[in-house]
Structures are given as C-alpha cells and as structure tokens.
Amino acid sequence: MSTTLKSIVLNEQAGRQRPGHVLEPHQSVDAWVQKAGMDWTIKEAPVQFMTGQGEATQSLQAYESQKVLYRSDSKLPLSVVSSRYQVVQPLEVLEFYRDLTEISGYELETAGVLKGGRKFWALARTGREAVLKGSDLVRGYLLLATSCDGSIATIATPTTIRVACENSLTAALGAAQGAVKVSHSTAFDADAVKRELGVAVAGWDEFMFRMRILADRKVKASEASNFFLKVLCNAAWDSPADQKLQNERALKKVQALFDGQGRGAELSSAKNTAWGLLNAVTEFVDHERRARDADYRLDSAWFGQGAALKERALKAALELAS
C-alpha cells in the first residue's frame, strides 16, 4: 500500500506492512485520537446562496433543508447533507472502544481517516482467535466505521483477519450475525449497538467451524477454475471489452495467488482447498486489486465493490463445501 492512505495507526504486532504510526499495545483512547489524525470535529453551517445576481439589489438566502459539514481544523468542506443528518464525530468512533479495551480485553490496532475525513474508522482485536491446520492463525476483530457524506451508515462489523496474509473477511453467516448498521437519520447510540453486537460476536465459533470445513475440502483444478469464473467473471458477453479484459487480468491474478504466489498459500489449510480459494480472492481484493490509490483500495475492500466480491467468494466457497 502506498502512503496515500490517510492517517492509519497500527500496533507494532501487525504482520503486513501498512503506512501509519507504530504504537505500543494497551495505549489509551486519548493517545489514539492524536496518532490517528482524528483530533478534530465535524462542524456544520447553513447552505446559502446569493439572489439577484447582476441586479442592483442582492441578498444572501439560506437553504434550510440542507447543511454543509466541514472540518474544525482545516475548515475544508466535507459534504452537503440534509439538515436532519445525524453526525457521528471522529472521537465517538474511538470512544466506542473505551470500555471494550478497558474491561472486555479488546485491543485497538488500527484507526484512520479516508478521503480527507469523509469516512473514518477504527479496528480492534477482540481476543478471539483460532488455528486451522498448518498453523494458519485467524483472529477476530471488530470494525466500526462511519461517514459524514452519507456514503455509508455507521457500521459495526465483526471481522476476521488471517495473520498469514493480513486478509480481512466479514465474520457473518446469516442476517443475525452480520454488521450492525445505524442510519444517519437516527442518533448513534453506542450502548445499543454493543448490545446488538452481542449476538454477532457470539457467532465466532460457528463461523470458524465453517472455515475449518473449507480448509478440509480439497478442490480439483477444474473446481478452482470454475470457482474463480463464478466469483470474478460476472461480465455478460456483451460487456465492454475493457471490462472483460479487467476480469481476465483479475482471474489470472487470483489463480496465481491460489497456485502458490499468495501469502500462506502453501499452508496445508489453504493448498488446494476451498479455504485457499477464498483467501486468494480476499488477498486480491485487499492487496492486489487495481485502485487509484491505497485510500480507494481500502474503501472498496471494506465498504464497496471489493467487500461485495469477498462476500460473493465466501458464499461460493460455502456452497462448494456443502
């Protein structure tokens, strides 16, 4: 990843190199606010316009159904949203983890700002982890992210990261175990989100049970090819040529990752298994997929097309192993 990824903070235990500030474990939330570049607030101002352009009499009018959101430090505008838009402040995202780190044993690992402050997030290790055969370690995390431009709701997502390659995957097998979303039309209630998350976090054992099934499911070369075609090549025959070419490049890359180029691809849990197929796709999305910069790659991998691609790969892998 390039250094265009804004204000990423990471614990020194992180495996894959990512930009950011190295911190000792067990730092306070207050220390993370400074290090993550989240020591600013979102301010708001009315949308105004000038009437009577070119006339002798002009007046400044307010458009009351909209408001401008801007950063308190740089005064740079972030977005224009509805006047009813409920703002979540950067500090609130980190404060969400205060009792989780002090009482429940969570450990903040990364936090950051995307697109100049339009999105911001924090990621904490939950303390849950499991080892698949071949010493393939998978750790549980909790991601909290929000936006001030309406591009995403405030989302708390149980997430897994495979240590061998730093690939992330939403730990959800059903609606009851997925992300908790809070629309910006309602106020963010951290305690209510944590209560609802109790169900999702409890799904860790079931999720890892299913991942072990994937690690035990051996796949043939033809099954691997069909899997990647199903997941990656959704372009119709009449799609533009450049889209087909992009899919072809992606197909070759994930196949190479699966065949041994990927990190951890030679572990017994991944080599020629459905788990290996899934991780080839997640590594491609998180680290190899073409993007304008690392900012956009992370945004896509967690919140956009990349996240949808990983979800499709998980579904296809579970179907293959069933």
pLDDT at 201: 66
For the entire predicted model, the pTM comes to: 0.87
Q: What is the pLDDT of residues 40-68, one digit of tens each?
A: 999 999 999 888 777 777 888 889 999 99
Q: Is the pLDDT of residue 21 over 50?
A: no
Q: What is the pLDDT of residues 271-306, one digit of tens each?
A: 999 999 999 999 999 888 888 887 888 888 889 999
Task: Give the domain ranges of the chain.
Answer: 9-39+88-202, 211-321
For every residue of 63-123, which 3-state class applies, written as one string? EEEEEEEEECCCCCEEEEEECCCCCCCHHHHHHCCHHHHHCCCCEEEEEEEEHHHCEEEEE
pLDDT at 177: 54
Instruction: Give the residue among 149, 131, 150, 152 at the shortest CA–CA distance from 140.
Output: 131
57's enclosing H/E stretch is none
Mean pLDDT of 252-271: 95
More reliable by pLDDT, 140 or 291:
140
Q: Which of 83-87, 176-180, 229-233, 290-294 has the lowest mean pLDDT?
A: 176-180
Q: Which of 3-17, 19-33, 88-102, 279-293 has the lowest mean pLDDT?
A: 3-17
189's enclosing H/E stretch is none
Instruction: Place 247 in a pLDDT band, splitting at 50, 70 and 90.
Output: confident
Average confidence score pLDDT of the chain: 85
